[in-house]
Homo-oligomer: A and B are copies of this chain.
Amino acid sequence: MAYELFYWPTIQGRGEFVRLALEEAGAAYVDVARERGTDEMLSILGDAGEPHIPFAPPFLRHGKRLMGQTVLILQYLGDRHALAPKAEAGRLWTHQLQLTIADLVSEAHETHHPISAELYYEDQKREAALRAKHFRESRIPKFLDWFEEVLARNPRGRSYLVGGRITYADLSLFQAVEGLTYAFPLAMKRMRAPRVRELQQAVARRPRISAYLASERRIPFNVEGIFRHYPELDA
């Protein structure tokens, strides 16, 4: 039974974290809005008969199951496709890492929309410049340093965040670092995060991920998504 992913069709956004897990798993999935438009997605969000109504995209349908929230979807896929350890301690730790990546991703979004997600960036540029400065100078280093520490302390080696094999958290950290590097190329050039960079490159080299990244299924970064390159925010 193929998964159905519902997400905005022209951006990577939060949906990309789900896409990467589905791709690495080699799972059959339909990226519904890209293949058939957004009508079905919007009608589920407005469907008065759906008890488990998502708050916002992305959401995933799997048979009778409908679930929203990126980190929840990843936990679900992780369990089904061995993208997280089976043992409880490792499974929880993977989820904890993912939640921290989600915090980083939210803060990256706030850099260009510090006042309201409903206003245009152009209407909050002054505030965005202030927020982006703090994000570049204090938050990116804090998050990257933490992930460096997590990699350094993994008793099974520094190749993965959790244990000795790939998890959805590795895929998501790859995506977060790709996004930060697109949005803040100058700031990221100054960051020292050798283990995170190695992980990023190792994920990009994985056969299924590298095939995905080279395919048309990978939407290029753009200034509509979560990670946006505005040179004035990377000064």
Q: Which residues of A are interface residues toward B (Cβ below 8 A)?
A: 48, 50-55, 65, 67-69, 71-72, 75-76, 89, 92-93, 95-96, 99-100, 103, 106, 110, 114-116, 118-119, 124, 127, 130-131, 134, 138, 143, 146, 149-150, 153-155
Listed residue (A50, A93, A106) with the most chain B CB atoms within 10 angstroms of its CB: A93
- List 10 interface pairs A-B (beta carbons < 8 Å), by A numbering: A50-B153, A51-B153, A51-B155, A55-B100, A67-B93, A69-B95, A106-B106, A114-B115, A115-B130, A127-B130
User: With a CB–CB cut-off of 8 A, which chain B residues contact A146?
Assistant: 53, 55
A219 to chain B, nearest CB (A): 24
- Nearest-neighbor residue (CB-CB) of A149 within chain B: B53
| Docked-complex contact B116 and A134, CB < 8 angstroms | yes
In the docked arrangement, what's the CA distance between A119 and B114, Å?
A: 15
Q: Is the interface of A mostly helix, strand, loop or mixed?
A: helix
Bound CA–CA A118/B136 (angstroms): 13
Is there an interface contact between B131 and A115, defined as CB atoms closer than 8 Å?
A: yes
Task: Give the distance to chain B from A99, nearest Cβ to Cβ, in Å.
Answer: 4
Closest chain-B Cβ to A25's Cβ sits at a distance in Å of 18
Known contacts A72-B95, A116-B138; 9 additional CB pairs below 8 A are A53-B149, A54-B96, A67-B93, A67-B96, A69-B95, A106-B106, A110-B110, A118-B138, A127-B127
B115 and A134 within 8 A (CB): yes
A130 and B119 CA atoms in complex are apart in Å by 11
Q: Which residues of B contact A51 (CB under 8 A)?
A: 153-155
